[in-house]
Amino acid sequence: MAGHRRDIDDLLAAELARGKTLQDAAKAVDCGERTARRRWADQEFRAKVAALRAELIDRTTGILAENLNAATSTLRELLDDADSRVRLTAAVKLLELAVKYHDATKPATPPHEGHVIEYVHRVITTESKPDAA
């Protein structure tokens, strides 16, 4: 029976790490709500949930980071689209993202004002298109 409890604990912790409520997590792993509350009262169990949540956030952040360059390249390519509305939308989106990124990463006393905007400008203006045949 100890193995079953550990399995339920692992499953319950995973559901809670994903953001489910105690009630919803208990239903998802087919255990009683009282059992879930009892487990939640245990500090070691809470620490396990916190560690799983941190791991989930790290993995998600990694996936976002991996795809950030591809998304930026796609927007940059759209700046050369034949349709002026597509070009305008891509330009506006890139500028909005640059400002948000700049605001989010700006230190209290920035060492180089405007470095993010300059970087985005370099990325936008860098030629990375294949040669036309």
Q: pLDDT per residue over 25-59, tens digit each?
A: 999 999 999 999 999 999 999 999 999 999 999 88
Q: Does residue 34 form part of some domain? A: yes
Residues 49 and 16 in one domain: yes
Q: Does residue 103 form part of some domain? A: yes
Distance CA 78, CA 90 (A): 6
Average pLDDT, the chain: 83
Q: Does residue 17 form part of some domain? A: yes
**pLDDT higher than 80, residue 97:** yes
Residue span of the structural domain in which 87 resides: 79-125
Q: Does residue 131 form part of some domain? A: no
Q: Does residue 130 form part of some domain? A: no
Q: Does residue 27 form part of some domain? A: yes
- Stated pTM of the model: 0.54
More confident residue, 40 or 65: 40
List C-alpha distances in Å: 23 to 5, 32, 46, 61, 104.
18, 8, 16, 28, 35
Residues 10 and 50 in one domain: yes
More confident residue, 53 or 125: 53
Report the domain count for the chain. Answer: 2
Residues 51 and 84 in one domain: no
DSSP string, the chain: -HHHHHHHHHHHHHHHHTT--HHHHHHHTT--HHHHHHHHTSHHHHHHHHHHHHHHHHHHHHHHHHHHHHHHHHHHHHTT-SSHHHHHHHHHHHHHHHHHHHHHH--SS-SSTTHHHHHHHHHHHS--PPPP-
Q: Does residue 51 form part of some domain? A: yes
Residues 7 and 48 in one domain: yes
